[in-house]
Amino acid sequence: MAERMGFFTDTSVCIGCKACEVACKEWNDVPDDGFVFRATSYDNTGGLGADTWRHVAFIEQPRRGPEEPGGREGSKGPPGPEGAEGQGVEGWLMSSDVCKHCTHAACLDVCPTGALFRTEFGTVVVQEDVCNGCGYCVPACPYGVIDRRERDGRAFKCTMCYDRQLGGLEPACAKACPTDSIQFGPLEELRARAQERVERLRGEGRPQARLYGADPDDGVGGDGAFFLLLDEPEVYGLPPDPVVTTRDLPAMWRWAAGAALCLVGATALSFLGRGGNR
């Protein structure tokens, strides 16, 4: 097993250029998203899916009053429609989202064909020629990342450019990122680097800075792709406390096995009882 590799996405330096999205599509031959114009957002892709493996979100950060978490003294927004203060936009948050490559990946647990597998780099990859389109992996993902293509029903998601890693190259998105917002490397090294970055930002007056997905003791055992956020996870559309959705499967299988044994025993006893009455 090779050293586990991962992504550290530092959203504090993301400029929303979407170079990562383009590089991902070009290298992996990912189809377009339909060119849907969303008049309510600067975001032209909308979210992760079978045809979007990297997604740069444009998030309007709401202005908060000083009494609210993350608020600052004198932080009063422009008057609202009725003259109310505290409304408005603090600024923009940019974040390049991607599959988290969970340590405990529920998609692996539910795949009946072995189409999903764990690579020697610790990443989770879908083998498109093995996937039968059952879709079990879609609801199993706690982040809502994996999806099926309408054209053939098969599931697709980020592979962390497994083919490039095999050749000793970094993934296309990290290679294309002009600000090093997306960093690729050994996971433990990235976690240490990310913690230093958080402490530096907090020292510079950014108390909201936090890591998301870097804790090996969280509900999914830590993520292979984790993030530095400048606000609550919910602001970025991320679940605050993700858990592996198949965590109860072992207990369920034990219960099912016990029930089956009881049924077999009861059946055997009934036959023995009938034989004794003859």
User: What confidence score (pLDDT) does residue 276 get?
Assistant: 56
Helices (H), 31-179: 106-110, 137-140, 162-166, 172-176
| Same domain membership, residue 81 and residue 22 | yes
Max Cα–Cα distance, the chain, nearest Å: 92
Give the range of the structural domain holding residue 270, as residue numbers without chain letter: 248-278
263 and 236 in one domain? no
Complete edge-to-edge strand list for the sheet that includes strand 5-10: 182-186, 5-10, 225-229, 210-212
59 lies in the same domain as 140: yes
Query: CB–CB of 50/148 below 8 Å?
Result: yes
Statement to judge: residues 119 and 36 lie in one domain: yes
CATH number at residue 106: 3.30.70.20
For the chain, 278 residues long, the average pLDDT of each consecutive 10-residue run is: 92 95 96 70 80 91 64 45 50 93 95 96 96 95 94 95 97 98 97 97 96 95 97 94 76 47 65 60
The pLDDT value given to residue 78: 39
